[in-house]
Amino acid sequence: MIWNGDFETLPRAGMEKLQTERLGKLVDNLYRRVPFYRKKMDEKGVKPHNIQSIKDIQKLPFTTKDEMREVYPYGLLAVDMHEIVEIHTSSGTTGKPVVDAYTAGDIEVWSEVMARTLSTGGTTKHDIVQNAYGYGLFTGGLGVHYGARKIGATVIPISGGNTKRQLAILKDFKTTVLACTPSYSLFLAEGAKEEKFDMSALGIKAGFFGAEPWSDTMRKEIQDKLHLLAIDIYGLTEIIGPGVASECEHQDGLHVFEDHFYPEIIDPQTGRVLPDGEKGELVITTLTKEGTPVLRYRTRDVTYLERSACPCGRTSVRMHRLLGRTDDMLIIRGVNVFPSQIEQVILAVDGVEPHYQLVVERRDQLDELEVQVEMDEKLFSDEIRNLETIERKIESDLYGALNIHTRVKLVEPKSIARSEGKAKRIIDKRKI
């Protein structure tokens, strides 16, 4: 279901014209009103009149998360403070957070792109949306909330955590749409199993999962266990929150809402813009944001863009589901490895659960990667279980996929710590 046909199915020429107009306005405004951007543009020797088409975006400077933190809290504001109606921030776990300040117009755009997102999985005003993303400064909760309200659906603002209560509400309130992190959805399925009820009888038709990278194998696992259509959604606080891009029912790449967010892929080392189909770092420019617009933000997310026609009818560019982060990319003996690649391999093996952890150590100057995977209850209780054979098989599959040697260890069910938010997959013990 397409929420806004006018923009979501706009032919390429029309989209580029719109993007060119919007970029021109944005750059003019930032140059006049935000010293942070004026300085960056001056340093790069580019003035607003140099931006004549959307392709000229490559002349503009990048913006990094660290730079945005340096002007904390209000150095990115492009309007007067009294025009700001809401503020969110990034987590700030590794320093000062990035502040995202929204005008009433920004909240309207956020509601619109989230209505488009929830519509991809068929959400209508007749649906009951259980929103298990965290409410608060984190953008997940309110983003989904505004989108569901815009559609006219019923929102249950339960927020994250409290699994027993989530499960009771799923059953009692007849939830039809679930929104949470993908790892938490599996945690809910596990809880349901313990309480001995059948998730398939609940009638949840779609789930909107984001905020962490996940693989197609994990999707299969979620769809099998929760009996729903699992839609991958993408966004980030520095840009707007969720609502930057979403899969459609064909689950073949995420449609970017490019009338508002312009995507580019660059080589993270050189900053060179890469052609469609080539993997690199995703860079986003907010074309319509008023409160805290962002020029060419380096997301550190790794993906690639694709423009082939999608059977759903949307004409927008699609980004492949995230392959990883430039900063959680592990370099093991010189080979680039993303946790999602490992996940893809291990979850295809019978007898293991989608709960795993990667431990990296350096011994005698050599990196060693240990992959700890939980076995399922059945394998664990099997008397003639041949753990070693399975471990060796996974090691050989991993070697086939990644070309690195790993050590695989099957661990007891439920022995790896669960997360109610983003899963922590990597423990890097190397001292370099």
The distance of closest approach from Cβ of residue 237 to Zn ion in the complex, given in angstroms and rounded to an integer, is: 26
Which of 185, 315 has the CB closer to Zn ion? 315
The distance of closest approach from Cβ of residue 121 to Zn ion in the complex, given in angstroms and rounded to an integer, is: 12
Instruction: Say how far apart CA 232 and CA 309 lie, in whole Å.
Output: 19
The distance of closest approach from Cβ of residue 30 to Zn ion in the complex, given in angstroms and rounded to an integer, is: 32
Q: Which stretch binds Zn ion (CB under 5 A): 60-68, 94-102, 311-319, 379-387?
A: 311-319
Which of 167, 248 has the CB closer to Zn ion? 248
Q: Which stretch binds Zn ion (CB under 5 A): 5-13, 41-49, 247-255, 404-412?
A: 247-255
Residue type, position 76, single letter:
L
Q: 286 - beta bridge partners?
A: 261
Instruction: Say how far apart CA 299 and CA 432 lie, in whole Å.
Output: 25
Which of 150, 314 has the CB closer to Zn ion? 314
Write the CA distances from 52 to 105, 292, 395, 409, integer angstroms: 25, 23, 53, 57
Residue type, position 331, single letter:
I
Distance of CA 268 to the CA centre of its chain: 19
Q: 306 - beta bridge partners?
A: 318
Q: Which stretch binds Zn ion (CB under 5 A): 126-134, 291-299, 303-311, 409-417?
A: 303-311
Binding mask 168-207 for Zn ion (x = CB under 5 A): ----------------------------------------
The distance of closest approach from Cβ of residue 240 to Zn ion in the complex, given in angstroms and rounded to an integer, is: 21
Instruction: Say how far apart CA 72 and CA 76 lie, in whole Å.
Output: 8
Contact 259, 270 (CB under 8 A): no
Contact 103, 83 (CB under 8 A): yes
Q: Which stretch binds Zn ion (CB under 5 A): 106-114, 151-159, 287-295, 309-317?
A: 309-317
Write the CA distances from 105 to 4, 11, 79, 98, 238, integer angstroms: 17, 25, 12, 20, 17
Which of 154, 223 has the CB closer to Zn ion? 223
Q: Over 405-422, what HEC string results?
A: CCEEEEECCCCCCCCCCC
Q: Which stretch binds Zn ion (CB under 5 A): 91-99, 107-115, 131-139, 244-252?
A: 244-252
Instruction: Say how far apart CA 324 and CA 332 lie, in whole Å.
Output: 15
The distance of closest approach from Cβ of residue 255 to Zn ion in the complex, given in angstroms and rounded to an integer, is: 6
The distance of closest approach from Cβ of residue 11 to Zn ion in the complex, given in angstroms and rounded to an integer, is: 15
Which of 123, 237 has the CB closer to Zn ion? 123
Element (H, E) at 282: strand 280-286
The distance of closest approach from Cβ of residue 21 to Zn ion in the complex, given in angstroms and rounded to an integer, is: 25
What b/e string do you get for 267-294 counting C-beta neighbours within 10 Å, with b at 16 or more?
ebeeeeebeeeeebbbbbbbbbbbbbbb
Binding mask 313-352 for Zn ion (x = CB under 5 A): -x--------------------------------------
The distance of closest approach from Cβ of residue 4 to Zn ion in the complex, given in angstroms and rounded to an integer, is: 14
The distance of closest approach from Cβ of residue 331 to Zn ion in the complex, given in angstroms and rounded to an integer, is: 34
Which of 248, 408 has the CB closer to Zn ion? 248
Which of 37, 234 has the CB closer to Zn ion? 234
Binding mask 252-291 for Zn ion (x = CB under 5 A): ----------------------------------------
How big is the site for Zn ion, counted in residues (CB under 5 A)? Answer: 4
The distance of closest approach from Cβ of residue 161 to Zn ion in the complex, given in angstroms and rounded to an integer, is: 33
Contact 303, 265 (CB under 8 A): yes
Which of 87, 310 has the CB closer to Zn ion? 310
Does position 312 bind Zn ion by CB under 5 A? yes
Half-sphere exposure of 112 (CA within 13 A, CB side): 18
Which of 113, 248 has the CB closer to Zn ion? 248
Contact 414, 375 (CB under 8 A): no
Which of 307, 414 has the CB closer to Zn ion? 307
Does position 310 bind Zn ion by CB under 5 A? yes
Instruction: Dump strand ranges (E) for 132-221.
Output: 154-156, 177-180, 206-209
Residue type, position 60, single letter:
L
Binding site for Zn ion (CB under 5 A): 248, 310, 312, 314
